[in-house]
A and B are shown apart, each in its own frame.
Chain A
Amino acid sequence: MSAALRLVLPPCSPDEVAGVWRADQLHQAPQAVLSSGHAELDAELPGGGWPLGQLTEVLQLQSGLFEWRLLLPALKRAVAQGPLVLIGAPLLPHLPALAAAGIPAAQLLRIDARTPAERLWAAEQVLRCSELGALMAWLPQARPEQLRRLQLASTHTQALVFAFRPEAARHESSPAPLRLTLRTAADEQGLSIELLKRRGPVIDRSLSLAAPLPVMAALRKRRPLQDPGHAVDRPAPTRPTRRQLQSA
């Protein structure tokens, strides 16, 4: 049987065929990626970074938590190529902080689409834009076939495409080639990432990233948030009690 097969099939290894990879290796086919800025994460992502022109699904317990900490390093580079579009953002982006972090206000477009259908429609339209740098869409109620449309639309762009969904969707099937859950780490400081799906072997441990914001470094140095020189000429307010301030 195997001898007969060997006669029929030309000898080839999976490495020689585009789009095929061994199940125990990371997919290393030439694919455009953008480094995530977190070394621990890059090591586990196929190609070594966030895929460009592919839908990446981020599952989170609560929308509005940790997105910027995870994505800011990559987004900073993506906005150099084109605008960052937010669809259905759960909170208001605070432009001064984002501008200080490297995302200029002029490069950020906010689309307040309310119904799920509007969000999907807007996301699909945005993906047809040739100048797009990155898309962040909050799609709590998207169905797999709708995500499939988005994934197909994403392949025509060279942008970062992130869909944020509730963690309850982790057991649904999804056409996104990369899926991960995003939570706070056990020590309440860093982030904990679980790669649910990737082009490569199954990974059963969760990654922990430091992903610090500037404010954390400031907290560690126990620097006051602002120079006292800027304070107003009034008596200091009653400080929080010692109990509240313990163990920063």
Chain B
Amino acid sequence: MLWIALRPHAPPDASSRAHEPPPTPPEQQALAWWGLLFSPRVCVLEEAVLLEAGASLRLFGGQRVLLQRLRDELPLAGGTGLAVAPTALAALALLRTLPAWDESTPVPAVSCTTLRLSVTLDVLPLTLLSAARAHEDVLARLGCRTLGDVRALPRGGLSRRFGAALLEALDRAYGSRPEAFEWIELPETFSARLEFMGRIEVAEGMLFGARRLLQQLASWLLARQRGVLAITLHWEHDLVRRGELSHGQLPVRTAEATRDITHLARLLGEHLARLTLPAPVLAIRLDATETEALETASASLLPEEVREGESLQQLIERLSVRLGADRVLRGQLLADHRPQHMQVWAPAGEGVVSAKAPVLPKHLQLHPPWILRQPLRLTVQGERPLYQGPLLMLAGPERLESGWWSLLSSAEAEGEELAQRDYFVARSPQAGLLWVYRRRSAGEPAWFLQGMYG
């Protein structure tokens, strides 16, 4: 058994909240969720979080490595102290001996091995054990200052005088009686709230708090073995103007379920950067609105070639957020004979297009690699069209008539009629090979530039 007691941050203003204390302060709950990263056996005991990591040692590479990691990451998770002991109550008592943490030093930590458990506990002040603290005055008058003094008293008399609870707590702390705890369970849905110490005036200022909530989300996702598809960040404005203002919210979606909170934080940051707050913000809440089961790949025994960087899907999402979804595009081929309808461009962030690509006829390889968004009308000199010099027709015509079925769409109608075009390959002295067409419908014939071969 390896019990690790963690001390959460003190609540920002405990006095003002005293009239209605929540069942578990949010700081403690966040720390408990974080503890689930290391062991499924996590419980909340009085003011601390306790986790039993005896079964997880091998996974994390041994006791020393695990404890070092816990100690390094504890400040990020909102913890301020760490104590290790073979029993839960001993760990809690040791945690209470730790000094307050000042931020410049490593997190204070203390540990005690099984062999030295009773020696260590004997010298601790009896107030460190909650069951003994209740009878502090009486015990002091009996001449007891340490837990060792209390334990030296006759057991029968101790039980008659102070009740069975004190004796039981003592036995549990010394490991002579089994302990039982209620392990914490995660809620079905994720929703976490954070109150700021001050007022946040700029939207980007919320990102700092949102990062802490995302950290909790990461623990929740990992313990539930899920990935997130959509999150919503809610914020509450200053009370003063509550009447006129509604609280704001910001939904963020990802195309693939993810557990990568740096990516989520980046997405949130891009959105928040473009936001102006109508009033200062006091608190935020993060909801995971859509999650799905996520399977992670198991790590390989052999070292693999590690490619650093983000995935394509993450890249597309980030570009779409900054530039707009309609400017990060992926094309799709359509089975159509008209050059202006052979492809359609859709936002790349909207998931993978599943439609099967049509089988292309062979002659399409003779089409130019570039086409113009709008055909460019060419000036004509005599009978020859001009584009950076007079054009020399090399091949053609290839006659393409447009579909009567889409006459209503404006791209099909040239004037009042169907598009009827004769395509030629032409050479321009400056611009290389061009793909031009002559319009045969709608009034006088005219030449247009459709594509460029280069």
> A and B from one assembly?
yes
Q: What residues of A have a CB within 8 angstroms of the CB of B332 in the complex?
A: 95, 105-106
Q: What residues of A have a CB within 8 angstroms of the CB of B124 in the complex?
A: none
**With known contacts A105-B357, A128-B315, A112–B424 Cβ distance under 8 A:** no
**Closest B residue by C-beta to A131:** B312
In whole angstroms, how far apart are the Cα atoms of A227 and B363 in the complex?
9
In whole angstroms, how far apart are the Cα atoms of A121 and B318 in the complex?
11
In whole angstroms, how far apart are the Cα atoms of A164 and B311 in the complex?
25
Of B331, B362, B373, which is in contact with the most chain A CB atoms at under 10 Å from its CB?
Answer: B331
Decide if B109 is an interface residue (CB 8 Å cutoff).
no
Q: What residues of A have a CB within 8 angstroms of the CB of B318 in the complex?
A: 125
| B359 smallest CB distance to A (angstroms) | 10
In whole angstroms, how far apart are the Cα atoms of A156 and B310 in the complex?
12
In whole angstroms, how far apart are the Cα atoms of A92 and B328 in the complex?
13
- Picked from B331, B399, B433, the residue with its CB within 8 Å of the CB of A215 is B433
Decide if B99 is an interface residue (CB 8 Å cutoff).
no
A205-248 vs B, CB cutoff 8 Å, 1 = contact: the mask equals 00000000111101100101111000110101101110011011
| A162 smallest CB distance to B (angstroms) | 14
- Picked from B322, B333, B366, B372, the residue with its CB within 8 Å of the CB of A92 is B372
- CB of A65 within 8 A of CB of B452, answer yes
Total residues of chain B contacting the partner, CB 8 A:
68
- CB of A68 within 8 A of CB of B370, answer yes
**Closest A residue by C-beta to B400:** A232
Total residues of chain A contacting the partner, CB 8 A:
68
Q: What residues of A have a CB within 8 angstroms of the CB of B308 in the complex?
A: 130, 156
| A87 smallest CB distance to B (angstroms) | 10
- CB of B368 within 8 A of CB of A94, answer yes
Decide if A66 is an interface residue (CB 8 Å cutoff).
yes
Decide if B307 is an interface residue (CB 8 Å cutoff).
yes
| B357 smallest CB distance to A (angstroms) | 7
| A125 smallest CB distance to B (angstroms) | 6
Q: Which of A101-117 contact B (CB under 8 A)?
A: 101, 104-106, 108-113
| A127 smallest CB distance to B (angstroms) | 8
**Closest A residue by C-beta to B342:** A96
Q: What residues of A have a CB within 8 angstroms of the CB of B431 in the complex?
A: 62, 65
Decide if A177 is an interface residue (CB 8 Å cutoff).
no
Of B315, B329, B384, B425, which is in contact with the most chain A CB atoms at under 10 Å from its CB?
Answer: B315
11 other contacts beyond A90-B370, A231-B399, A244-B384, with CB at 8 A cut-off? Answer: A68-B454, A82-B312, A98-B369, A125-B315, A128-B310, A128-B315, A129-B310, A188-B427, A219-B425, A225-B423, A237-B422
Q: Pull 10 A–B residue pairs with CB atoms less than 8 Å apart, ordered by A.
A: A94-B371, A100-B362, A105-B333, A109-B328, A111-B328, A122-B319, A129-B315, A130-B311, A188-B429, A245-B393
Which residues of B approach A to under 8 Å, CB–CB?
Answer: 307-312, 314-316, 318-319, 322-323, 327-333, 339, 342-343, 345, 348, 352-353, 357, 360, 362-373, 383-384, 392-399, 401, 422-425, 427, 429-433, 438, 440, 451-454
